[in-house]
Amino acid sequence: MSTPAANGQFSLNSQAMNGAVAALNGMALNNPTVGGVADESTNAAATAHSGWDTAGALRAALTEWHEQVSQLTGRLHQNSAAMEQTTLNYHSTNTSIADALKLKEN
């Protein structure tokens, strides 16, 4: 049993919530791979400018880039976990209200 909402529709679209969790998980899992795209060309440019300050700056920029990608990946994982918990909370609340309504009917 589920709680009724306006026009007899359910109050939660489980498929949409699960899709959001899956999308966040996918972004978190793909993020390091996508973030690594610049590695080869940046390292090649740094090697080509060996002996110049530019080489060190390129390597420092790449290091910072990887730190930012890592932080973003962590945030995506946190958001995914929060969305999953929100989905569980909705389901739990929905079931609790439905059970309470069922008891009132009896």
Rounded CA separation 80/25 (Å): 6
Q: What is the pLDDT of residues 5-64, one digit of tens each?
A: 555 455 677 788 888 888 888 888 888 787 788 888 999 999 999 999 999 999 999 999
Q: What is the pLDDT of residues 53-64, one digit of tens each?
A: 999 999 999 999
Determine the number of helices (DSSP H) and then strands (DSSP E) in the chain. Answer: 3, 0
